[in-house]
């Protein structure tokens, strides 16, 4: 009888140990799931910020390729721009600097709306007061400029809910680039 009494308490202790191990393991899995959600969200935010940088660089390159349109302020304005008629630039009809700027604005506006969630106020403004450009002799050359442009892109990042885009002005992310084309 003495042997049976000493074995009974051991069996109950091991069951409690197993239950505690399962509880600790479950808490660890819940923490790991939360970490996975935060990691996925951070990756999405980094992806969107990479898209913003790519889109900004793309427009700056377009502006640099069209210096006459740039310094005649054809790129200045708010985006996404609504275009009623986009000029067709092809081999049969070449575009002038203003037409090329209009086409660039339409393409960039479309890209902004496609690749950025919750696009906010976006603008380009160029200060040409210090720019040196002589249209009569150097139309096809890139002279040194003293002007500056400011590009500002704003967007919202997704919240935790499925429909929460946090589009109020206090929650918008912003990318501002001041550059000399």
Q: Tell me the whole-structure pTM to 2 decimals.
A: 0.72
Q: The tokens of 83 are what?
A: 């275009």
How many separate domains does the chain show? 1
What range defines the domain where residue 62 resides? 2-179
pLDDT score of 129: 73
Cis peptide before 107 (omega within 30 of 0): no
User: Is 73 within 8 Å of 127 (Cβ atoms)?
Assistant: no
pLDDT tens digits, the chain, 181 residues: what are they?
555 555 555 556 688 888 999 999 999 999 999 999 989 888 988 998 999 999 999 999 999 888 888 888 899 999 988 777 777 777 777 888 888 999 999 999 999 999 988 888 899 999 877 665 555 555 555 555 567 899 999 988 765 544 555 555 567 889 999 988 8
pLDDT score of 72: 85
pLDDT score of 146: 62
Phi, psi of 63 (to 5 degrees): -65, -40
Distance CA 175, CA 152 (A): 6
């Amino acid at each position: 009888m003495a042997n049976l009494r000493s074995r009974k308490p051991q069996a109950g202790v091991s069951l409690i140990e197993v239950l505690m191990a399962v509880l600790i393991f479950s808490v660890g899995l819940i923490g790991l799931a939360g970490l996975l959600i935060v990691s996925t969200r951070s990756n999405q935010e980094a992806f969107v910020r990479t898209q913003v940088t790519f889109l900004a660089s793309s427009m700056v390159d377009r502006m640099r390729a069209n210096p006459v349109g740039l310094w005649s302020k054809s790129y200045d304005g708010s985006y996404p721009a609504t275009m009623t008629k986009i000029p067709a630039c092809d081999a049969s009809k070449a575009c002038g600097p203003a037409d090329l700027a209009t086409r660039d604005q339409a393409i960039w506006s479309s890209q902004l709306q496609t690749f950025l969630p919750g696009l906010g106020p976006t603008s380009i403004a160029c200060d040409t007061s210090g720019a040196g450009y002589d249209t009569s002799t150097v139309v096809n050359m890139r002279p040194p400029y003293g002007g500056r442009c400011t590009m500002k892109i704003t967007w919202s990042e997704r919240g935790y809910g499925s429909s929460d885009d946090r589009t109020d002005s206090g929650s918008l992310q912003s990318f501002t680039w001041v550059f000399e084309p």
